Structure 1
Amino acid sequence: MRTEPNMTRLDRLFARLDREPERPAGLEVPRMSPHRIVLFGSTLVFYLLIVVAVINTSWLVRLDWQLMFFRPYQQWQELHAFIDYYVVLGQRGPTAVMVAAWLGWRSWRQHTLRPLLMLGTSLLLLNVTVGAAKLSMGREGPHYATVIGSNEMWLTGDIFPSGHTANAVVTWGILAYLASSARARRYLSALSAVVSLGVGLSTVYLGTHWLSDVLLGWAAGLLILLALPWFEPLVSRAEAWILAQRDRYLPGLRGRATAPAPAGAPPLFPQPGPVTEPVLEPVGAGHGGRVPAHFSTQRYTVRSERSPGTPAGSRRPAHADSATRTARTAPARPVAGG
């Protein structure tokens, strides 16, 4: 017979939001499997083919110019306002803040720094690889093109590959990479692919990138995601070092359990017990016939409750020689009968 209460969806949601008592055992860490190595190699070949096609001013460059002259932002002007906001999903600042907030909660919940460290590793790889490619090839964008049909390479531009596209692939793809289940990984992979595809096409619509820039940006971001398992050992060592430094300099953050008190020691915070009345001893039992003052049962009256009264007689204390002086100065009485 089942006695557990039926949990609603809201109860299950709050249960998942609670912090786990300790780090979950057996967290799945992606490995560099043969399948992943094949995908990495294929993507790298695709990356190099695009670079060669643009350098040689092939059919891909002609397609870039045809799309530029088509001017999609003038053909579908009603989409312009929406795409201006949608393309923000590829900007590094806003997306990094949103994803870092989510992964920070994951790190706190699972007692591990791996999600944040993997995000930092992926963004560092993105800045180094994409930034180096941009600066080394120096391609100009559609708005700054000068010679029709040229590849606009080796100039002062920095748009090849597309940073918006590569950032969208890495930033949203890291959520799928760090997913805790295979089902969640599949859904998040599909979602990140759709978002990054939309961001890349949005830059082509706005005229800020060539189509070849977007293709190279997709390949650059995918290469980073596929190469992340190679950096897992380095991230594990970095996490262990950070936690060791925390325990060394901030021992209070470790959350140690309080050591039990030794046997026979008084408790640090005694529990309140029942209040008992003092027991009065009988009169004369060991007190010389008097009740101790601190056990007196007579109610003490304050000054305002006492009735006013004037003391009888003089308040001057009696002098020791007063009786002698009175006997000496009193007149002698006559003796009766004499």
Structure 2
Amino acid sequence: MRTNDELAHVEEHPTEPVRPRMTRTRLGIFVATLTVYVAIVVGVLTTSWPVRFDWQVMLFRPYKQWPEIHTFLDYFVVLGQRGPTAVAVAAWLGWCTYRQKTLRPLLVLGTSLLLLNATVGAAKIGMGRLGPHYATSIGSNEMFAGGDIFPSGHTANAVVTWGVLAYLATTPRSRRVASVSAALLALGVGMTTVYLGTHWISDVTLGWSAGLLVLLSLPWFEAPMAVAEAWLLGIWHRLRERTALVPAPVAPIALGGPRTPVDDELPAREPVGAGSRAGARVPDGRPHLSPRPHTTRSERTPVTPTGSRRPPHSDRAPRTSPVLPATGRGRTVGG
């Protein structure tokens, strides 16, 4: 049984998540998927059977065959759009990052989207295929005509974005559920684009292959992601240490010496403003004197008192030159 100190240490330093490795099985699937990818591209470039099948489906016009589901599929296809899906998955992985105390979920998502944009975007621009709605001649492959639909970005994005959740699953059961859900979503999004007439069948199959290649290549990027995570956490810890080293503001010291237990029972003093009078009383009964320059006793100007030192009395007349009866000599009061 663990002690409290051990439990605190475990909570402060969570267990390092298991990072998938490029196994022989995964590598075999990657090579097979890459072979399918190349075969589809070659088939479209040579205007072989993939192009003929594309035109057959396009001329069938599925959106006219089943118009009652058109509205629903217009909303469903958003599940493959890059912006909304990336925001939704990033919000969930941000919560996982907070719970697991690791940046790996967000780094995996960022790496996968970067690979997706680089590979699929380059293929789209490089092959420049036009979509079914912009086709110029029946039976042509519509390649290198300034388009950007080959492979299907919606399909590849659905494979990668939802597949990342399966890739990051921590238990076998959750991994199976997430994998099946991601596959069904990617299948549905791809076929929806064909139904709406925005993509050829070959666009969709190439999008599935492109997205799967990105997911299968993620284990090769686990080591760079670990380095990036350590670097980012180091920056974060240094910022926290700098913030902790900033000195706290020091409270002003009250005049009159250290407080005693009796002073603690008295009400707190109110601050004396610049316009207060010298010698004003503060709540604890002691006078507050305004500051003035201190002089030594030898530098002070002597003051000679004038007048009588006796207090005034109503029955006594003031005398200025009294005469002593014994000596007859006058003496000034106060001499």
Using the alignment, how far apart are the partners of 1:66 and 1:126 within structure 2?
30
Aligned to 1:62: 52
Aligned to 1:131: 121
- Classify the secondary structure of the residue corresponding to 1:24: coil
Is residue 2:218 matched to residue 1:224?
A: no
- Classify the secondary structure of the residue corresponding to 1:174: helix
Residue by residue over 1:192-242, the C-alpha shift from the partner in whole angstroms, topping out at 9 and shown as x without a partner, is: 000000000000000000000000000000000000000000000001111
Using the alignment, how far apart are the partners of 1:76 and 1:169 within structure 2?
26
* Paired amino acid for 2:86: A
The 1:32/1:57 distance shift into structure 2, 3 A limit, reads same
Aligned to 1:206: 196
Shift, 1:322, TM fit: 3.1
Is residue 2:36 matched to residue 1:46?
A: yes
Report the TM-score, using the length of structure 1 for normalisation. Answer: 0.70
Aligned to 1:244: 234
Is residue 2:153 matched to residue 1:163?
A: yes
Mark the runs of 5 or more structure 2 residues left unpaired by the alignment.
1-9, 246-263, 266-283, 285-309, 319-335
| Alpha carbons 1:107, 1:114 under 8 Å: kept | yes
Of 197, 205, 223, the residue aligned with 1:233 is 223
| Alpha carbons 1:135, 1:158 under 8 Å: kept | yes
Aligned-pair Cα RMSD in Å? 2.3
Residue by residue over 1:23-51, the C-alpha shift from the partner in whole angstroms, topping out at 9 and shown as x without a partner, is: 53142211101110000000000100110
* Paired amino acid for 1:58: S
Structure 1 residue runs of 4 or more that deviate by more than 6 Å after TM superposition: none
Shift, 1:59, TM fit: 1.1
Residue by residue over 1:227-278, the C-alpha shift from the partner in whole angstroms, topping out at 9 and shown as x without a partner, is: 000000000000111111112233378x99xxxxxxxxxxxxxxxxxx99xx
Using the alignment, how far apart are the partners of 2:18 and 2:97 within structure 1?
14
Shift, 1:21, TM fit: 3.7
Using the alignment, how far apart are the partners of 1:22 and 1:150 within structure 2?
62
Aligned to 2:275: none
Is residue 2:183 matched to residue 1:193?
A: yes
**Aligned length in residues:** 249
| Alpha carbons 1:90, 1:165 under 8 Å: kept | yes
Using the alignment, how far apart are the partners of 1:31 and 1:242 within structure 2?
23
| Alpha carbons 1:23, 1:112 under 8 Å: kept | no
Report the TM-score, using the length of structure 2 for normalisation. Answer: 0.70
* Paired amino acid for 1:322: D
Shift, 1:154, TM fit: 1.2
Using the alignment, how far apart are the partners of 1:98 and 1:250 within structure 2?
29
Is residue 2:93 matched to residue 1:100?
A: no
Using the alignment, how far apart are the partners of 2:180 and 2:215 within structure 1?
14
* Paired amino acid for 1:125: L
Shift, 1:60, TM fit: 1.1
* Paired amino acid for 1:225: L
Mark the runs of 5 or more structure 1 residues left unpaired by the alignment.
1-19, 257-274, 277-293, 295-316, 326-338
Aligned to 1:264: none
